[in-house]
A = this chain, B = another copy of it.
């Protein structure tokens, strides 16, 4: 299991790629598989840990990203013959090692940062097994082995009463995530808004968010750990997820559902695959639609939201899917080797 080394695995707060790598690794260990997690030295796993980088390059300025990415990825491929399959949760760089090893490489594509990285995915389409994290994120030029939605530890979220009297924004503070639109919707709907997340775009935060933060109508609580996240979600009337990009998946959306909190989202990217309109939230075309949806929240049942999350987005379901895929890839690979 090759994790990203931007953060430790599992992440302390932000780090969706590291979170998914950890969830799959721990799930496979629990099922009796022998798993080696390649991650930062301060990572935690019930499997075996192999570390090259002392810490995440986003968390320790002395860690040079390019240097440690290279050492980290090479370490997996130098030991490749010890493994039945390599699960790559680390973007495109590991792909270019994949022709140099007999071990099959399954690469989860956590979204395309830009079209500029497509040439690498295209070049290794014939040798690497790709996993899409949503149907919406499948690129027409690539061949996929499977689409596997992310799953979360639903047991660490609890069905909340939604009685905090506020709407919630949970995610990076960045134009992509629509923080400003959430502020606008809350104001028009006449409800307080709580904003939680790391500031990724400081200029946007200063210009579009800070002027509205008054501690009452708009509260900014910054990055929150798992317990606080569960509590904040449980008290929220709804999550406002008014994204401005085709988000390949939304972990915070699934977390909200696991706390029984409906999601009001624009129908972009993976949102129509995650949010069931009229069941676990509303897909709305614009700010006015979002305001109208707030008035409709009473028609949704929080317990149904949670059940849907547990059924469709639990870590068990994700680990099932990956385990099945890994078994299939290993079997196909052995059979192809036998024919040679």
Contacts and interface: CB of A to CB of B under 8 A. Distances in A.
B70 A92 contact: yes
A331 to B, nearest CB: 25
A97 B74 CA distance: 7
Nearest to A70: B96
Contacts of A93: 66, 70
A295 to B, nearest CB: 46
Interface string A58-100: 0000101011101101100110000000000000110111011
Most chain B CB within 10 A, of A67, A97, A117, is at A67
B101 A71 contact: no
Contacts of A62: 116
A96 B116 CA distance: 24
Contacts of A95: 70
A120 B77 contact: no
A119 B77 contact: no
A68 B78 CA distance: 22
Contacts of A68: 119
B73 A96 contact: yes
Interface in A117-131: 117, 119-120, 123
A67 B120 contact: yes
Most chain B CB within 10 A, of A96, A99, A100, A116, is at A96
B78 A117 contact: no
Given A116-B64, A116-B67, A117-B64, A96 B123 contact: no
A316 to B, nearest CB: 35
Q: How many copies of this chain?
A: 2
Contacts of A66: 93
A96 B120 contact: no
Contacts of A92: 67, 70
Nearest to A74: B96
A29 to B, nearest CB: 27
Nearest to A98: B74
Nearest to A117: B67
11 contacts: A66-B93, A67-B117, A70-B92, A70-B95, A70-B96, A71-B96, A71-B119, A74-B96, A74-B97, A77-B100, A100-B101
A292 B62 CA distance: 44
Q: What are the 4 closest A-B residue pairs judged by CB atoms, nearest first?
A: A74-B96, A64-B116, A100-B100, A70-B96
A78 B99 contact: yes
Contacts of A73: 96
Interface in A96-118: 96-97, 99-101, 114, 116-117
Given A64-B117, A71-B119, A100-B101, 11 more contacts: A62-B116, A64-B116, A67-B92, A67-B117, A68-B119, A70-B96, A71-B120, A74-B96, A74-B99, A78-B100, A97-B97
A117 B62 CA distance: 11
A330 B195 CA distance: 63
Contact of A97 (B64, B100, B116): B100
